[in-house]
Amino acid sequence: MEISKSDHRHFIIYKPYGYLSQFKSLDSKQQSKKFLGLLHDFPEGIMAIGRLDEKSEGLLLLTTDGKMSDFVNSQKVEKEYYAQVDGDISDEAINLLKAGVEIGFDGKKYQTRPCKAFRLNKIPDLPKRSQKIRDDRHGPTSWVSITLNEGKFRQVRKMTSAVGFPTLRLVRVRVGTIIINSMKTGEVIEVDQLL
């Protein structure tokens, strides 16, 4: 039986730090991990659109619609991240990020596509993270916005490292037109449509 468009369900969640972007353990090594299924009673067939690694947090879209997942994962939809980086990020590093940098991916070198990047002038108003990030006694940190149309594994972290400013905290704040706004960590909102 084919599922009509109206039978699909969609969710916007604020993925907490320390959770995997999946719903149950795939192997015995993951038994002690936290999964999205702990946040809500999601319907059968639900999938995360793209992923955020265990140490990343923020906006994650979920759907039962494979076509919607493919569209959001395509290069047509922007994803914006706020990264707190180690050190006082320089204009030169920002320009390198914008132009694209070489990172490792699947054991090969990969040149990231040009993207939007700029320094945030003030600390973004985000929920406190469950695990404390080192404080300024260990040296300065700064925040940068990076907007991509691609999403290789741990790409933003690899990009900021490549320009000499490793990521300490990473939060996805926007996917297409959907913005995290004032969502709280672990919050789940069911919506009629995503994009």
Does the annotation count 88 as an active-site position? no
Q: Distance between CA atoms of 162 and 143, rounded to whole angstroms? A: 16
**Furthest CA-CA distance within the chain:** 60
Q: Give me Rg for the CA atoms of the chain.
A: 17
Where are the alpha helices (H) located in 4-132, listed in sequence order?
66-73, 91-99
Q: Distance between CA atoms of 121 and 67, rounded to whole angstroms? A: 38
Q: Which of 53, 106, 125, 135 is catalytic?
A: 53
| Cα–chain center distance at 195 | 17
Residue closest to 188 by CA, chosen among 7, 5, 19: 19
Which residues form the catalytic set?
53
